[in-house]
Amino acid sequence: MEPHHPPPPWLEALGWTSLAVAGASALAIVGNMTLRGYRQRMWIMHLVYPITALYWGPAALWFYQAGPPKAA
């Protein structure tokens, strides 16, 4: 059995950076809903958007800010 080798430092730094950016995106969405008062019509979306931001990061923030498509 071979000994366990830790991941390279750049990979660990990338992982922590990704977690920090995702957490900041989730906090930005929560702050927008609570502090600025941008409430969602469906209560479940108050959970869905921040949880989605935890694994999608800035992409979830972009979709949240874009909102639903506008009728032409």
pLDDT of res. 8 = 92
In a domain, 5, yes or no: no
CB of 22 closer than 8 Å to CB of 54: yes
pLDDT tens sequence across 30-68: 999 988 887 778 889 889 999 999 999 999 999 988 876
Give the model's pLDDT for residue 72: 54
Residue 9 belongs to a domain = no
- Whether 22 maps to a domain, the answer reads yes
Give the residue numbers spanning the domain of 37.
16-65
CA angle 53, 20, 68 (to 5 degrees): 20
- 51 found inside a domain: yes
Distances (CA, A) of 41 to 11, 33, 44, 48: 40, 11, 9, 13
pLDDT of residue 2 exceeding 60, the answer is: yes
Query: What's the number of CA atoms in the CB half-sphere (13 Å) around residue 64?
Result: 27
Domain count, the chain: 1
pLDDT tens, 11-22? Answer: 999 999 999 999
